[in-house]
A = this chain, B = another copy of it.
Amino acid sequence: MTINGAQSLIRTLVGAGVDVCFANPGTSEMHFVAALDAVPEMRAVLGLFEGVVTGAADGYARIAGRPAATLLHLGPGLGNGLANLHNARRAHSPIVNVIGDHATYHKRYDAPLESDIEAVAGSLNGWVRRSARTEDVGADAADAIAAAQEPPGKIATLILPADVSWGDGGRIAAPVPVAGPRPADPAAVRRIAKVLTGGEPVALLIGGAACREAGLLAAGRIAAATGARLFAETFPARLERGAGLPAVERIAYLVESAVQQLDGIRHLIVAGAKPPVSFFAYPNLPSSLVPEGAEVHVLADAGEDVTHALEDLADLVAAHTRPTLQDAVRPEPPSGPLTWQNWTDVIGALLPEGAIVADESNTSGLLLPQATAGAPRHDVLTLTGGAIGYGMPVATGAAVAAPDRPVVTLQSDGSALYTISALWTQARENLDVTTVLLNNRAYAILRLELQRVGAQAGGPKAGELFDLSRPDIDFVKIAEGMGVPATRATTAEELAEQFRRALAEPGPHLIDAIVPPLL
């Protein structure tokens, strides 16, 4: 039986374990869509905007540990998905983008949607290929899947011209083997062991795969045995934490705080993380957060097997030491009007076992890490690339990857509007996602940043650009409009009661939590 290019693509994807496709298709993707019914193993999840699609693929990859496919429509579709692909790139999430393009012979006519897909995809520093012939599509897809999974994970983009997709003669390709992460340099492990036992102040900064259980336990042993200060990168893709795991402080977003965290160290060991840098440049603040005079030691970079490197290092310096583990302690449930200081205690008091937390709470979430430190074991996903509008899409994909785990989105209002239709996908797929919408009616972070960059005090016109009131945004109505049941909380008691109820009921819920801004 002869199959077309699209069919060979889907069967190759499924054969390599890529069995979820987040899709926002157009005409050039119709043959892919038509082929879906012939391959029951492939699950297609519709997003009503490409930023939802790519964010969901990111969340899926962070939890499933393998790529989903996206289905996008030419350059504009990729453009709409670019911000969350940027975050995914920074998270090292493996993703296979399938981008339909005009038929090969149609491109020279410069039809309205003609666009430079390669230029836009190229900006992601990943893998990009255009399938030239129908018989190549399967092999190209297999290469794309392998490229996406090459440690530590990247964005692979396969451009599929419509005629290559609809042409007959497709060939299903076998999976291309993917090597695991390279082993770290044993000499580096030994050298760093000496640094750790040399008596000078040391900090150990973990990131990437080291933020999972095995890496955390090894890092915890090292810290317990040597007194090294233990930190995680500011925005880990996935950080396991909670009672029973070593507690790890993240490097602060605010340079001023980060400088304090690292004050006095002479050696900074980085394990799966990059040496810390300021998120933005500020006049009179450093770009590099490595203290002056401190030496940086790379235990393992992102492409290396950081977990084993940490375990080897722990065996050298902490052979008989157990890590200090976080106690199971939760905050007292707070009461009274919601504030940015107390809502996090509600989450800390009630976060269920095994939760996945997609955190885009931004300024409202300043106290979140400490409030949830002793909650039951959970994963935190963070805004790795700083492109806002990531929280609800990533939660959507995480829920697809882990249907048996509760997913909690902590979502600030300003960022929510970028990809709000993720709620609709959550409703359609009946995903168990509870969104706590931190509604401070402001881009509060920009009020803060305006001060930090040393700008002349903004007047009323500047203030208008940070103000999300006039009109107030009613997220209860918006969520209901998208098919997601929603309530509003203005007190800690209301938030607790609504959060508990949302977690108990299956399917998505949103709580519009009215929280005054930090400033």
Residue numbers of A with Cβ under 8 A of B are: 23, 25-28, 30-31, 33-38, 44, 46, 48-49, 51, 75-77, 79-83, 86, 90, 102-103, 105-106, 109-113, 115-116, 119-120, 122-123, 125, 162-163, 166, 235, 274, 277-281, 283, 287-288, 384-387, 389, 414, 417-418, 420-421, 424, 427-428, 445-446, 449-450, 452-462, 464-465, 468, 470-478, 480-483
Cβ contacts under 8 Å, A82 to chain B = 75-76, 79-80, 82, 120
The answer on a CB contact under 8 Å between A473 and B483 is yes
| Contacts A111-B278, A112-B385 known; 7 new A-B pairs at CB < 8 A | A30-B450, A31-B453, A36-B458, A49-B418, A106-B278, A119-B119, A478-B478
Q: A49 CA to B453 CA in the complex, in Å?
A: 23
The answer on a CB contact under 8 Å between B280 and A44 is no
User: A244: shortest Cβ distance to chain B, in Å?
Assistant: 30
Cβ contacts under 8 Å, A464 to chain B = 44, 46
Cβ contacts under 8 Å, A28 to chain B = 280
Q: A123 CA to B124 CA in the complex, in Å?
A: 14
Of the listed residues A278, A428, A458, A481, the one surrounded by the most CB atoms of chain B closer than 10 A to its CB is A481
Q: A111 CA to B258 CA in the complex, in Å?
A: 15
Cβ contacts under 8 Å, A458 to chain B = 33-34, 36-37
The answer on a CB contact under 8 Å between B105 and A287 is yes
Given contacts A23-B465, A46-B465, A274-B110, contact A385 B478 (CB under 8 A): no
Q: A427 CA to B417 CA in the complex, in Å?
A: 15
The answer on a CB contact under 8 Å between A481 and B483 is no
Given contacts A83-B80, A453-B27, contact A44 B162 (CB under 8 A): no
Given contacts A46-B464, A287-B109, A424-B473, contact A79 B86 (CB under 8 A): yes
The answer on a CB contact under 8 Å between B281 and A462 is no
Cβ contacts under 8 Å, A112 to chain B = 90, 235, 279, 384-386
Q: A463 CA to B247 CA in the complex, in Å?
A: 48
Residue of B nearest to A390 (CB): B76
Cβ contacts under 8 Å, A110 to chain B = 274, 277
The answer on a CB contact under 8 Å between B90 and A79 is no
Q: A480 CA to B125 CA in the complex, in Å?
A: 41
Contact of A446 among B27, B35, B235, B465 (CB under 8 A): B27
Q: Give the oligomeric copy count.
A: 2
Cβ contacts under 8 Å, A38 to chain B = 456
Enumerate the 5 nearest inter-chain pairs by beta-carbon distance, A residue then B residue, closest first.
Answer: A471-B483, A79-B82, A37-B459, A76-B387, A34-B455
The answer on a CB contact under 8 Å between A287 and B462 is no
Contact of A76 among B86, B456, B477, B483 (CB under 8 A): B86
Given contacts A27-B449, A417-B48, contact A279 B111 (CB under 8 A): yes
Cβ contacts under 8 Å, A446 to chain B = 25-27, 30, 33
The answer on a CB contact under 8 Å between B274 and A30 is no
User: A250: shortest Cβ distance to chain B, in Å?
Assistant: 13
The answer on a CB contact under 8 Å between B162 and A453 is yes
The answer on a CB contact under 8 Å between A288 and B449 is no
* A and B contact pairs by CB, cutoff 8 A, 14 listed: A26-B449, A30-B450, A31-B455, A76-B86, A76-B387, A79-B79, A79-B80, A79-B120, A103-B281, A109-B287, A109-B288, A162-B280, A163-B283, A474-B480
The answer on a CB contact under 8 Å between B109 and A277 is yes
Cβ contacts under 8 Å, A476 to chain B = 481
The answer on a CB contact under 8 Å between A75 and B166 is no
Cβ contacts under 8 Å, A37 to chain B = 458-462
Residue of B nearest to A462 (CB): B33
Q: A510 CA to B104 CA in the complex, in Å?
A: 41
Q: A77 CA to B23 CA in the complex, in Å?
A: 22
Given contacts A79-B79, A471-B428, A482-B473, contact A33 B450 (CB under 8 A): yes
Q: A103 CA to B284 CA in the complex, in Å?
A: 12
Cβ contacts under 8 Å, A163 to chain B = 281, 283
User: A130: shortest Cβ distance to chain B, in Å?
Assistant: 15
Q: A477 CA to B386 CA in the complex, in Å?
A: 30
The answer on a CB contact under 8 Å between B277 and A111 is yes
Q: A35 CA to B455 CA in the complex, in Å?
A: 8
Given contacts A30-B450, A455-B31, A478-B478, contact A424 B417 (CB under 8 A): yes
Given contacts A119-B120, A279-B113, contact A428 B470 (CB under 8 A): yes
Q: A465 CA to B35 CA in the complex, in Å?
A: 12
User: A480: shortest Cβ distance to chain B, in Å?
Assistant: 5
Contact of A106 among B281, B427, B459 (CB under 8 A): B281
Cβ contacts under 8 Å, A122 to chain B = 116, 119
Residue of B nearest to A26 (CB): B446
Cβ contacts under 8 Å, A481 to chain B = 473-478, 481
Residue of B nearest to A278 (CB): B111
The answer on a CB contact under 8 Å between A75 and B123 is yes
Q: A519 CA to B462 CA in the complex, in Å?
A: 48
The answer on a CB contact under 8 Å between B120 and A281 is no
